[in-house]
Amino acid sequence: MMEPAAKQKVIYITYLIAALDITWLFLQFSITPYLARRLGFDTIWFGYLQTTVGVIQLLGGPIYGRFADVFGARAALSVSCLASVVYFLLLTVADNTFMLFVHKLPAVFMHGLPGAQMVVADLSENEKRADALGKLGLCFGIGMIAGSSLGGTLSTRFGEKFAASFAAVGSFVSLLLVLNFIPKQTKSPPMQESNKKGSSNSVFNVGEITRLMKFPGVAKTFTVKIISGLPAGIFQVMFSIIAMNFFQLKAEQNGYLMAYFGIVQMVIQGAVIGRLTSRFSEYSLLLLSVGVSSLVGLAQAMMTNVFHFCLIVIPMMFSLSVFSVITDSMLTKSVSPSDTGTMLGLCASVQSLLRTVGPTIGGFLYETYGVPSFGYIQCVINAAVFSLLLATGGRSQPHKPKKM
221-257: pLDDT as tens digits? 888 998 998 898 888 878 877 887 888 877 667 767 8
pLDDT for the residue numbered 401: 43
Mean pLDDT by 10 residues, the chain (404 residues): 81 92 86 78 73 82 80 89 94 87 89 86 80 81 83 81 92 94 76 49 57 80 89 84 80 74 83 85 92 95 91 93 88 79 78 77 85 94 94 58 42
CATH code for 1-185? 1.20.1250.20
Q: What is the pTM of this model?
A: 0.74
Q: Where in the chain is the domain with CATH 1.20.1250.20?
A: 1-185, 206-394
Per the CB < 8 A criterion, the answer to whether 54 and 355 are in contact is: yes
CA distance linking residue 262 with residue 49, whole number of Å: 25
Total length of the chain = 404
11 Cα distance to chain centroid: 18
Q: Which fold has domain 206-394?
A: Growth Hormone; Chain: A; (1.20.1250)
Classify residue 305 as left (phi > 0), alpha (psi -120 to 50) or beta. beta
Sequence-ordered list of residues with C-beta below 8 angstroms from that of 268, at least 6 positions apart, any chain: 137, 317, 318, 321, 322
Per the CB < 8 A criterion, the answer to whether 187 and 344 are in contact is: no
* DSSP designation for 211: G
Smallest CA-to-CA distance from 114 within 151, 154, 80 is with 80
List C-alpha distances in Å: 339 to 190, 191, 213, 313: 13, 9, 12, 35
261-320 tens-digit pLDDT: 888 888 887 788 888 888 888 899 999 999 999 999 999 999 988 899 999 999 999 999
Per the CB < 8 A criterion, the answer to whether 349 and 69 are in contact is: no
pLDDT for the residue numbered 197: 47
Torsions phi, psi of 2, nearest 5? -80, 145
pLDDT for the residue numbered 82: 95
